[in-house]
Amino acid sequence: MVSAGLGVWKLLRGIRQLELHRLILALIIFCLLSMAFLAYYVSNSPKIKEAPPLPFSDCGGGGVMSVGDSTGGTGGGPGGQRAPLFLPPRQGRLRQVKAVDNSRTEPVVLVFVESIYSQLGQEIVAILESSRFRYRTEIAPGKGDMPTLTERNRGRYALVIYENVLKYVNLDAWNRDLLDKYCAEYGVGVIGFFKANENSLLSAQLKGFPLFLHSHLGLRDYRINPSASLLYVTRPNQVEQGPLPGDDWTIFQSNHSTYEPVLLASTKSSEALAHLGPSSLRALHATVVQDLGLHDGIQRVLFGNNLNYWLHKLVFVDAIAYLTGKRLCLSLERHILVDVDDIFVGKEGTRMKMLDVEALLNTQNKLRTLVPNFTFNLGFSGKFYHTGTDEEDRGDDMLLRHRNDFWWFPHMWSHMQPHLFHNVSVLAEQMRLNMLFAQEHGIPTDMGYAVAPHHSGVYPVHSQLYEAWKSVWGIKVTSTEEYPHLRPARYRRGFIHSGIQVLPRQTCGLFTHTIFYNEYPGGSKELDKSIRGGELFLTVLLNPISIFMTHLSNYGNDRLGLYTFESLVKFVQCWTNLRLQTLPPVQLAEKYFQIFPEERDPIWQNPCHDKRHKDIWSKEKTCDRLPKFLVIGPQKTGTTALHSFLSLHPAITSSFPSPVTFEEIQFFSGLNYDNGIDWYMDFFPFPSNVSTDFMFEKSANYFDTEVAPKRAAALLPRAKILAVLINPADRAYSWYQHQRAHQDPAALNNSFHAVVTAGPSVPRDLLALQRRCLKPGAYATHLENWLQHYQPSQLHIVDGTLLRSNPALVMEGIQRFLGITPIFNYTQALTYDDSKGFWCQRMEGGRAKCLGKSKGRKYPEMSPESRSFLAEHYREHNMELLHLLNRLGQPLPSWLRHELQSTSWS
């Protein structure tokens, strides 16, 4: 009985333990499910939104400051401080200051940097490049030679900039005197920077100048001198309140009337300048000064720090303009266009609602009071209309009710990337769906502007996109951030292709994921920093036309798009004299290419050298269809024979013949370049083996076409270059005979001697013939042009005389230069033809296959008087070629040695 009871008790205890385990397991499962549900709810539910940030409301700061009022008195506060008696009143001095006149100089800036890696040097160059100003950088010489400053009685530089002004003042006497005489004679100014380091003295006099420097200071409350004569873009009625970053500032002090303060600040600490006396404690001190040239006839602007602080960049731009007499200067007009991409596209919870649309309209109206004609430009993909929440769908409807208040432009119907469509008809059908949507909802369709999703197909060019855009929408203008590359942004440019104007597009720090102010990458201060003198502000400052890319999601949620552009416009108008306005895209494009006509022609680059470009390039295209080397000419030197010899090699493949220009494509030298790289690649087959197949093309007019080297290097930077040189006098005569054979009236009606000796007043057709006879023979000049874009190791000079007499030897050298193995035996492949007088292909049975009748043409010998004239004409050119080939380590052609010996003997 007892044992039975014990068994029952054990059974019940086991059951209770089993139930307890199950209960615990159930609780664990419940907790996990609850956590998963909570995580899903948090991640997918709209966030509880704080009030959107308010844009900057006013300029703030203190009042206008007058530099010449009094010494540092006891002004009523930061806004009422008085400047020190730094210099006499401006009005009396300006009568003595010469107006800047450096019209006898080239509009080029000479920049002396500490090293090619120095930060300040890179910032100086970045501003010059952004402004599209030409410049040359040199490592600042200590006791080295100064670069050549003049050429043919003209100055080579309109402005000199020293990254470290001490390198300027400490130049050796010879170079300093040379530079100062140049600046004084040609009206060239100097900009210099002084950035204190651990070795800098607290106080010192700038060598050779009545100017004292006080360094290692902490400053606050930056002010602009409204009387500073260099101010142009900078608006002088502002005080930047608060401490300036760092404690390494330098101030300038002088009693000489040549110095005028531009920027001034107070010291943070009352002890900082106590050694200068009690009057310095509350005074304003100059951190940027302008030397009016009253001391030595040279105008300068000196900065007591680098360009890290945004206000220095602004004044630096003004200093460049002033010291070059506004030759290096943009106008005060700035055109901005704000594109809002992806209308109707976006995930639930990120789209615009009715209140957001109302805010968009209100902000647009406010901005129109500040920026004439300001209008948000909305890009739409109709397929995604009404795909948000009910509240967001009502936002879609409100946008359409106010459709005439905005500008509109199409994306793709389904927001697909155009480069994925290889058929123009299919691509056009996608566009027609978007067009139909626009027509059904009353969206304007005549703006002539479109933007491809992800900029696909615009650059690198997808020709099907351009064709479909024109046929469906009548597109005249588009924009992209990808030409020539996304980064650095200062290199972005415009171009025109297939009748469509492509404008550079700028990012503004707002992307599809930047929708909350407090979650901005790096913190909200990063966005404000970009607006208040940072990247976004500099984009407007340095670009006369800016198209900004934003997204639908930037105008819902915290409405960062509205905050950003209202704040930016107000900040620009507070601190600058820039005149902001907006134009519709087609008018904007007309304005852009009026300002930058040199950008109309694009530069085609290799899409495979930029991962972003390769990602938005058709998968059906391959860079393997581009040549590995070029035969560049010049004409009438034997390039056709070289082309035929190269084509005999089993590893070498020539381009397909052109129906117009025969064996030459002439892509880099003329109008064919406008057809784009798809057209160019169609002249080449798909290689069977990329590593061992050598494709090439020969176009003999590449040699002396000025734009050809730049274009070729952009698309084929690793290509090797072959040039065939013969005696330039013989080349000129051969061209004359070539033109006679082609019935050129100028050649038929004039002797060769009359052609080459003709003066400038002869008929235009005769001058044109003379130019084509003589110009290509300036070999060194044209080779130097190619060497600006290619390394010397990529260039091979073919002795044209030796090619004619011993082609097998020449072809062996070319094969070694190209790196082709095994070496092909041309001795067995070629045979000399007595009737033609040159080498031909050896066929079966020993027969010769020669070039056509036009090659190897017999004509009379050149007259001795013409040869004598050309020998003298080309004497200096041949000497330059001698020096160039010696510098490159290339052997001298036999004809050049003979010509130099003959000239020397005579």
Where b means 16+ CB within 10 Å and e means fewer, 107-133 reads ebbbbbbeeeebebbebbbbbbebbbb
Distance CA 644, CA 696 (A): 12
Give the residue from 600, 651, 358 showing the smallest Cα distance to 495.
600
Distance CA 650, CA 861 (A): 38
Distance CA 152, CA 133 (A): 22
Task: Compute how many other C-beta atoms are within 10 angstroms of the C-beta atom of residue 772.
Answer: 21
723, 656 Cβ separation under 8 angstroms: no
What contacts 450, CB < 8 A, 6 or more positions away?
409, 410, 411, 469, 473, 475, 478
Taking CB atoms within 8 Å and a gap of at least 24, the contacts of 872-879 are 873/756, 873/774, 874/728, 874/729, 874/777, 874/778, 874/899, 875/903, 877/728, 877/777, 877/778, 877/779, 877/780, 877/781, 878/728, 878/779, 878/903
Among the listed residues 636, 836, 849, 853, the single catalytic one is 636
Distance CA 322, CA 232 (A): 8
| DSSP one-letter string for 644-671 | HHHHTSTTEEEPPPBTTTBT----TTSG
Tokens of 629: 């080397």
Which strands form 848-849's sheet, in the order they lie side by side? Answer: 830-833, 838-842, 848-849
Tokens of 655: 């381009």
Phi then psi for residue 694, to 5 deg, are: -115, 105
Tokens of 352: 């615009």
Q: Is 10 a catalytic residue?
A: no
Distance CA 25, CA 31 (A): 10
What contacts 239, CB < 8 A, 6 or more positions away?
61, 62, 63, 65, 78, 79, 221, 222, 223
What contacts 568, CB < 8 A, 6 or more positions away?
531, 536, 537, 540
Give the residue from 771, 767, 773 showing the smallest Cα distance to 728.
773
517, 509 Cβ separation under 8 angstroms: no
Proportion of the chain in helix, strand, coil states, percent, rounded to 5 = 40, 15, 40
Tokens of 470: 């024109």
Distance CA 260, CA 94 (A): 11
Active site residues: 636
